[in-house]
Amino acid sequence: MTAFEKTSAPLTREPDTTEQARLLTTAQEQALDRACSSIAPNWPLDRMIAVNPLWAMREQPIDEVAARLSSLAYIHSLMPPSHYLQRWQNGDIQAEHLTRAAAELDYPGNYQNLLKVVKTLSELPHWHNISDLVDAARDRQHKMAWRDEIIHQISQFCAAHYQEDGPFNTERLNPQGERSSNPTLYQQWLRITRVDRGIAILMAEPGLGRFFDTLPATDEGLFQAAAAELGVNATQLGDYAQALLLDINGWAAWVAFRDWQRELGENDSAPATEMRSLLAIRLAWELVLWRYLHRRHPEQAQNLSWLWRRELDSLPELFERHRQAQRPLWVWQRAAELAYQQPLNRSLTQAVRAPHTVADTPSLQAVFCIDVRSEPLRRALEQQNPDIQTLGFAGFFGLPLSVVTPGSALAQPHLPGLLAPQVEVRLGTPEQANAQARQLNWSARFQEWSQTAAATFTAVEAGGLLYAGKLLGRSLLPGKAPKRLELSSLRWHWRDSGKPLTQADQVTLLRNVLTAMGLTERFASRVLLVGHGSHTQNNPHAAGLECGACGGQSGEVSVRALARLLNDPSLRAPLAEAGITLPDDCRFVPALHHTVTDRIELLEGEDWLSAETAEWLRRASAGAQRERAAALGLSPDQADLDQQLTQRNSDWSQTRPEWGLANNAAFIAAPRSVTAPIDLQGRSFLHDYNWRTDPEFSRLELIMTAPLVVAHWINMQYNSSTLDNRKFGSGNKVLHNVVGGHIGVFEGNGGDLRIGLPLQSLHDGEQWRHEPLRLSAYLAAPTRAIDAIIAKHPVLQALTGNGWLYLFSLDDETGAVQAYHDGHWTRTTD
C-alpha cells in the first residue's frame, strides 16, 4: 500500500445514483437546451472573423442580457463610470445628451452622481458556482484554487481532444475502457480523468481521484444525478448551466462554431449534443466536489449546503439588482451614442441638400469593400479628379466561393460566416496541383521526421543553417511584398454536385453580382475591383485584419476571379441578353488595398491603366497614409512615411501593425453622393444603394440581412473585446500560445481558450482606440420598405427591437432623418 493510499479515506461504496437520480423533466431538459444555445460561435485563427459574442442572446433586451452576464459571470457590458466622466469633462457628452437619454430610457433616478454609481456597483453580490463556494473556505495561501484547476484541466483536455492530430484522436474508448466508435466528449474526458492521479496530488486532496469513479458513465446520467443531488429545479437549472458554460466560454464558443458549421453543412463530424457534453464535463466537477466534501469534510459540507441553497434561491433578486444598478450607466452610454449620432445626422442632412453633379461617364470607377478602412482611401481617390466614382460593396464581391489551392484537398470558404459556399474554385491546372501535392507531401514527411524524439537535435544541427538565409532576408529586407496566389487557371464547380459551371451559370452569377453592386449602366472604360488584405508577421490573429466578408481571407481571389469572368469576351453577349451591356472597351482590373500601408496593388491588367490613373492611385494612397499616420504614432509629414508603414507589416515584434476596424460606429447604405462630402473619419461601413433602381427592394433586403448583420457582428466584437477583454477578448498578444495549430490561443500556457481581439488591437498603452458604441445604421430608403423587410425577418426584429443597434431612415431628397423605435419612426430634431 502506498503512502498516498494510506492517507486516503476509504470509499466504502459508490453513491447509489439509481436511488437519487430521476429522469429529467421536460422543463429541465429545455433549461439545459437554452443554456447550451446561449453561446455564440468563435471562428478559428485561420478563418477568424468578428462575431457578436452575445449573438445567441439577441432575442432578449440588451440591458437584461448585460445584467444577467454581470450577475452570473462578472462580465462587463458597459464602460466603467470613469470613462463616462472623462467624456463629460472633455465636453463630448453634454447635459442635453444626458437629459434626452434619460427621457428615452424612462429613467427618473439620479444618473449624474457617478460616485454613487461606483459604490452601488461595488456592493453588488454575484453568483457563485459550487467550486467558488468551496474556494471561499479553502486555504488559498497553501492550496491552488479549484476554479483555476477546473478550467485548466478542462481546457487542456479540450486542446488535446480537438487538435487534428491530438493524442485522443487515435483511440476512442468509453469510460469502461472499451473501444467505442462514437464516445461523447464527456465520456472521453471521464476516461482520461479517471486515470489521472496528478489532480489529487496537485490539489493536496488525497482520495479525490476515487470520486471520479463514482460519476455516471453517460452525459444524461450525469445531468440526472447532478440535478437530483444538488437540488436544482428547472427554473434554476438554466441559469446555473449558463454560469458553468461561461466559466469555460472560450471552449464553449469553439463547440458553438462546430455546431454552426454543422448547420451550414460544413462539418458533419460534430455531434449535435457536443455542447451538452461539454456542459456535462463542467457539471461533473461540481458534483465531484459536492460528493468529496460531503464524504471527507461533513462539517464544511453542511455550510456548503446552506450557502448553495441561498445561491439558488437568490437568483431572481440577483438579476434585478444588477439591472437596477446598471440603469444609470445605460443613460450615460446612450448619451455617448447621441453625442456621435447627432453631428452625423446633421452632416448627412446637409450633404443631401448640398448641390452635387454626377459625370455621365466616369473617368474611373473603383469598387471597394464596405470595410471602414476603405472610407479614407475612397475619399482620397475621389479628390484626385471629380469624375472618379467609387462604390462600396461587400468584400467577397458577391461570389459565394470556397477556394481549393493547388495540391490541397481542403476548400477554404471566401464568404461571410453567415453563409455557406455554393461555388468551388480550384486554382491552377491539374498538373500544377499534382506537383504542389508532391512538394507538400515531402514537406510534411520532413516535418513529421523532425518532430520525432530521435530527430529533435539532429534536425536542428543538420538543417539549422538552411534557414539562416531566410531569417536574414526577412530581417534585413522587410519590405518584400507578399507573394501573389497562382491563378493562371481557374476551374469553377458547383460545390454540392461537383459539376462545372456552364456559361449560363456564369452569366447568371455575373448578372446577380452586378445588380447587387448597383453597377448595371454608365460603365467607365476602366473599373477597379478593389479587395483588401493585411500583410503582417508573427501574428496569430492576422486573419482578423483580413476581409471579414471573405471569411478572414484576403480579397485577392474574389476580385481576380470576378475580373476574369467580367473580362471574358465569350460572356459579354449573353450578359447583354440578360440585361447588362458592358461597353467593348470596358475592362475590369483587380486590385488589392493593403490596409497596413494603404497602398493599392494592381493584381492583373496593369497595362490597361494609363499613367494618369496610376498617378491618381499613388497620390490617393499617400493621402490616406497621411490621414492615418498620427493614430499610428507617426508624423504625417515625414518623408519616409511609406517606408515606415512598410516596415510595420514586416516587423516581427510589431504588436500593433494597424488598428483594423477599431472605432467603427456606423453603417450607411445610400448613394455615394450623400456621403462623399463628409469626412467620416474611417468609422463607417459604406454600402452603395439607390432605392430608385430597386423596385422590388430585393437589394435592400439583401443589404439588411447580410452586410448590415456582418457590420453589427464586427461592431459588437470590438465593443465586447473592449468592455470585457478578460472574457470576450484574447488578452496580451505577447503571451499568446497557439492551440491546435489554428483553434485559438492560450494567454500563457493554460486557462480557458481566449477568444475575441487582443488588447493591442484596441488599446495603445495609454488609452482605448475603440469607443464602444452600438452600431448606428442609416438606410436611404422609404420607411415602408424597411418596415416590410423587418416584418419578414425575426433576426432584424430582434436587433432593432432589443436595443442591439440603432436604425435610421435617410430621405435622400430632403435630408430628413427618422429614427426607428418600437416599430415606429420618429423625425430626429438634431
Give me the pLDDT at residue 518, please: 93
Cα distance between residue 416 and residue 434, in whole Å: 30
Residue at 482 is within a domain: yes
Domain-located, residue 702: no
**Residue 682: what residue type?**
G
> Of 653, 679, 694, which marks where a domain is finished?
653
Looking only at the bridges linking them, the beta strands covering 736-739 and 744-747 are antiparallel
Kindly state whether residue 708 falls inside one of the protein's structural domains. Answer: no
Distance, CA of 598 to chain centre: 24
* Residues with Cβ within 8 Å of residue 738, at least 6 apart in sequence: 45, 540, 744, 745
In degrees, rounded to 5, the angle at the alpha carbon of residue 37 between the alpha carbons of residues 34 and 42 is 155
Question: Which parts of 639-706 fold into alpha helices (H)?
Answer: 641-648, 672-675, 698-705
Amino acid at 50: A
Check residue 268 and give its pLDDT. 67
Strands, E assignment, 135-279:
none
167 and 290, same domain (yes or no)? yes
Pair (70, 182) in one structural domain? no
Residues making up the binding site: 369, 371, 532, 547
- Clarify whether residues 150 and 207 are in a common domain: yes
Question: Sign of the C-alpha dihedral, residues 179, 184, 185, 191?
Answer: negative
Domain count, the chain: 3
The boundaries of the domain holding residue 71 are 62-126+327-338
Q: Do residue 74 and residue 106 come from a single domain?
A: yes
Annotation: binding site for Zn(2+) = 369, 371, 532, 547
295 lies in some domain: yes
Whole-model pTM: value is 0.93
Tell me: do 195 and 301 sit in the same domain: yes
One domain, residues 225 and 277: yes
Written as one string, the DSSP assignment of 161-188 is HHSTT-TTSS--B-TTS-B-SS--HHHH
Residues 6+ apart with CB under 8 A from 455: 449
User: Quick one: angle between helices 185-194 and 274-296, nearest 10?
Assistant: 40
How far apart CA 721 and CA 696 sit, in angstroms, is 39
Residue 225: all three cell numbers together: 444525478
Question: Cell 446633421 sits at which residue?
Answer: 346
DSSP string, 663-679: T--EEEEE-HHHHTTS-
Confirm if 579 and 556 have CB atoms less than 8 A apart. Answer: no
The radius of gyration of the chain from alpha carbons, rounded to an integer in Å, stands at 29
Write down the pLDDT at residue 2: 32
Residues 569, 406 contacting (CB under 8 angstroms): no
Of 584, 619, 653, the position where a domain reaches its end is 653
Rounded Cα distance between 56 and 37, Å, is 7
pLDDT of residue 408: 73
Burial string for 466-499 (b: 16+ CB within 10 Å, else e) reads eeeeeeeeeeeebeeebeebebeeeebbebeeee
User: What single-letter amino acid sits at 500?
Assistant: P
Q: Are residues 110 and 161 in the same domain?
A: no
Indicate if 298 and 332 belong to the same structural domain.
Answer: no
β-bridge partners, 526: 587
DSSP per-residue string spanning 51-97:
--TTGGGTTS-HHHHHHHHHHHH----S--HHHHHHHHHTTSS-HHH
The predicted structure's pLDDT at residue 111:
83
- In sequence order, what are the residues at sequence separation of 6 or more whose Cβ sits closer than 8 angstroms to the Cβ of residue 385? 363, 364, 616
pLDDT value, residue 430: 66
Residues 6+ apart with CB under 8 A from 579: 511, 520
Residue 82: burial class (beta carbons within 10 Å; 0-12, 13-18, 19+): exposed
- Final residue before a domain boundary, out of 625, 653, 681: 653
Q: Do 515 and 635 fall within a single domain? A: yes
Task: Based on the fold, state whether residues 76 and 223 are members of the same structural domain.
Answer: no
Q: What local confidence, expressed as pLDDT, does residue 422 receive?
A: 95
pLDDT in tens, 488-512: 788 899 988 999 999 999 999 999 9
Q: Cell numbers at residue 644, please? A: 515606415
* Residue type (1 letter), 782: P
The reply to whether 417 falls in a domain is: yes
Contact 396, 574 (CB under 8 A): no
Distance CA 217, CA 122 (A): 42
- Which amino acid is located at 716 in the chain? M
The segments of the chain whose pLDDT lies below 70 read 1-21, 164-181, 268-269, 407, 429-482
397 domain-assigned: yes
Sheet holding 587-594, edge to edge: 388-393, 364-369, 526-533, 587-594, 599-602
Nearest by Cα to 591 from 637, 558, 549, 552: 558
In a domain, 669, yes or no: no
Do 519 and 367 contact (CB within 8 A), yes or no? Answer: yes
Closest by Cα among 211, 361, 375, 397 to 287: 211
Of 347, 329, 339, nearest to 97 (Cα)?
339
Task: Give the pLDDT score at 5.
Answer: 32
pLDDT of residue 338: 98
Write out the DSSP string of 369-434: ES-TTHHHHHHHHHTT-TTEEEEEE-TTTT--EEEE-TT----EEES-TTS---EEEEES-HHHHH
**Which residue shows C-alpha cell 452600438?**
774
Residue 168, pLDDT score: 53
- Interval 591-635: pLDDT, tens: 999 999 999 999 999 999 999 999 999 999 999 999 999 999 999
Distance from C-alpha of 741 to C-alpha of 737, rounded to nearest angstrom = 10
Q: Are residues 565 and 632 in the same domain?
A: yes
Q: Tens digits of per-residue pLDDT, 529-538?
A: 999 999 998 8
The answer to whether position 687 is within a domain reads no
- Do 391 and 283 lie in one domain? The reply is no
